[in-house]
Amino acid sequence: MEERKRWGGDHVEWIEIAVKTTTEAIEAVTNILYDAGVKGVVIEDPKDLDFANQDEATWDYVDDRVFQFDYEGALIKGYLLKSEGVFEEILLIKNAIHYLPHYGLDIGEGVLETKEVHEEDWSENWKQYYKPTKIGHRVVIKPEWEEYEAAGDELVLVMNPGMAFGTGTHETTRMCLEAIEKEIQTGDQVLDIGCGSGILSILAAKLGAGKVIAVDLDEVAVSVAKENVLMNEVDGIVEVHYGNLMETIDPKEEQGDLIVINIIADVIIAMGPSLSRYVKPEGKLILSGIILEKIKDVKKAMEKEGFQILREIQQGEWAALVCEVKEAG
C-alpha cells in the first residue's frame, strides 16, 4: 500500500498516483506528472512488447509481470511525498489531464487513482492542514469550517474546495492571487480558465471586476465553484460554466480585460494560438502552473503569439507570468 524511505531516521511517506491512459498520451501525461513534482515515473504499456516479436532473444529481458497487465491502454505511475500540499498537487495533475483531449490528444480513460490513502478519506483528512492564510497585502483565504475575524482592510474569501483544485496553499494559486490583486482594475471583465474551486474568480469579483466568466472541464470543480461563488455572495458577478475556453466563450461576444489560467505549462502552450482572440487590445494574461524548467518554453510560445512578458514571478519550483498584447507597430 505504501512505499517508504528512511532519511535521518524519519519515515518519508509517498502517495502513488496511477493514470490509465493511451500509448499516444504517455509523453504528455508523464510531463504533467513531472511538472507537478512527481519523483520518478513507472510506465506499463503492453505495446512495448511489440519489439519482442521482432527478435526472440529479446524475450529474455521482459519482466514476467507484464503478462499479467489487465488494462488495454498504458498505465503511468508516479510518486509524490505525502505532505500538506499533496492534495493540491493531485488535483493539479487531474485538472491538466482533463484538458489534453481538447488539444487533439486521445487519453483513453484518463482515470487517476491514488494509493496510501483513498480519495474519499483524503477529502476529509486534508482539512486539518488547511487554515486561514493571508496572501499578498489584503487577501485572506478562510476555510468554511474555520473561524476568522478580518482585521483592517483585509479581504476574506470563504472557501470549501472539496475535491477541486484551489485552496490558496499551492504556490501556483498563491502567485495568481497576488497577481490578480496587483493587476485588476475596477470594472474589468475577467476570464478564469480552469477555475477549479473558483478561488481566483471570487477574488476578482471582490476586487471590483464587473463580470467574471469561469470555466472548467471537471464537473466536480464546476459544482464546487458554484457553491463557493454563492457562499461569497458574488453570484451576481461570477458565471461558472462547464467546458473549455473555445467551446464555452465566443470571442466575438466576450473578451477579457484580464485572463487568468492556472493549469500547467504544456496546456498553456497548447492554448497559446487561441488566446489572442480572447484578450482585449490592452488586456493582460496571468499564467501559472508553470514548472521552472518550462518557463522559457512558455515565454517563447506567448511571444510567438504576440504577447509581451511584463513580469515573471517565482515561488518554490513554480513560476507565473504576467503578459499583455504587444502594441501594433
Q: Which residues pair with 279 in a beta bridge?
A: 256
- Residue ranges of alpha helices (H) inside the chain are 26-35, 86-99, 119-125, 171-183, 199-206, 219-231, 245-248, 265-275, 295-304
Q: What is the per-residue pLDDT for 177? A: 94
CA distance 241 to 262: 16
Choice among 96-110, 225-239, 288-302 with the minimum mean pLDDT: 96-110
In whole numbers, what is the pLDDT of the chain averaged over residues?
Answer: 81
Contact in structure between 140 and 62 (CB atoms under 8 Å): no
Please check the confidence at residue 284 and state whether its pLDDT lies above 90: yes
Residue 230's pLDDT band, with cuts at 50, 70 and 90, is very high
For the stretch 12-44, pLDDT in tens is: 577 888 999 988 788 788 888 888 878 667 777
Please check the confidence at residue 224 and state whether its pLDDT lies above 80: yes
| Chain mean position to CA 232 | 22
* pTM for the model: 0.72
Choice among 192-201, 241-250, 307-316 with the minimum mean pLDDT: 241-250
Residue 126's pLDDT band, with cuts at 50, 70 and 90, is low
Q: Which residue has the higher pLDDT, 235 or 72?
A: 235
Region 118-146: mean pLDDT is: 74
Q: Which residue has the higher pLDDT, 242 or 91?
A: 242
Cα dihedral 292, 293, 296, 297 sign: negative
Residue 60's pLDDT band, with cuts at 50, 70 and 90, is very low
Domains of the chain: 4-126 (3.30.70.260), 172-325 (3.40.50.150)
Q: What is the per-residue pLDDT for 293? A: 86
Q: What is the per-residue pLDDT for 205? A: 97
Angle between helices 265-275 and 26-35 (to 10 degrees): 110
Q: What is the per-residue pLDDT for 80? A: 83
Q: What is the per-residue pLDDT for 181? A: 94
Q: What is the per-residue pLDDT for 62? A: 37
Q: What are 172's three cell numbers?
A: 501556483
Q: What is the per-residue pLDDT for 150? A: 84
